[in-house]
Amino acid sequence: MSDPAQILKPSFPVEDASRSGSEAFREIQNIMDALELKEHAEGGYYVETDRDSRLVPSPFLNGPASKSEWEAALKRPGFDPKFRNASTTIFYLLTPNSPQCNFHRTRARSIHTVVRGRGRYVVLHANETEENCRVATFAVGHNVAAGEKLQWIVEGGAYKASFLLPDQDGGLESSGGLLISETLVPGFEVYDHDFLDKGGLKKLVGEQGATDLGWLVRR
């Protein structure tokens, strides 16, 4: 990771009410209305656009990833832990009002494509080793010549977080949000999902890393 202290700062100010009449704000509202996005527990907004009805045997041997979410998972009608939908796809949006997605992981592999805007991803490769966890960070957006990724994969078991970047580096103006498409294989289940807490973060990246990255942990 190149200079985490510089890169891993929240770089977008949370939108204040005074900007609610702006063009960018209206555009975001239009997108949210048209796509029928709702709040995500990770931060940001989402809608599931596809769930393959074909079932595959679950490739995951473990029980629920998180005890606290186990009950919610149980309540999903028809969910049988022995099976998963073959894939699911969502739209996911970060906005100036909800500019970050907090560290979480799922057992499924996730395939992302940027649709609109810019952001930064931070991935903790806890799936590789619990000690000296590899930390990766990269910008996503349409400026491929500047190294921004249009498409990226996060393997199951890695923790990821993301945050909105302004449309121009160093600017603060008029982000119309970061809209991505994300496909999980096999499909999403709360049963396979958990959040990272401060203690878990410290274990993975140490005291200093946890100080640098703590703002991306869900409160």
| Position of minimal CB gap to ligand GUN | 188
* 87-116 positions binding ligand GUN, by CB under 6 A: 88, 90
40 versus 105: smaller Cβ distance to ligand GUN = 40
Q: Residue 155 CB: number of other CB atoms within 10 A?
A: 15
In whole angstroms, the minimum distance from the beta carbon of 110 to ligand GUN comes to: 9
| Nearer CB in complex with ligand GUN: 49/97 | 49
Q: What angle do CA 203, 135, 196 make, to 5 degrees?
A: 45
Beta strands in the chain (DSSP E): 38-39, 45-51, 55-57, 83-85, 88-94, 100-106, 109-116, 118-124, 135-140, 151-154, 159-165, 178-185, 193-195
Residue nearer to ligand GUN on the CB measure, 50 or 173: 50
36 to 55: interface string for ligand GUN, x by CB under 6 A: ----x-----x-x-------
Name the phi and psi angles at 172, rounded to 5: -125, -5
In the complex with ligand GUN, the residue whose CB is nearer, 88 or 162, is 88
State the residues that interact with ligand GUN by CB under 6 A.
Answer: 40, 46, 48, 88, 90, 188
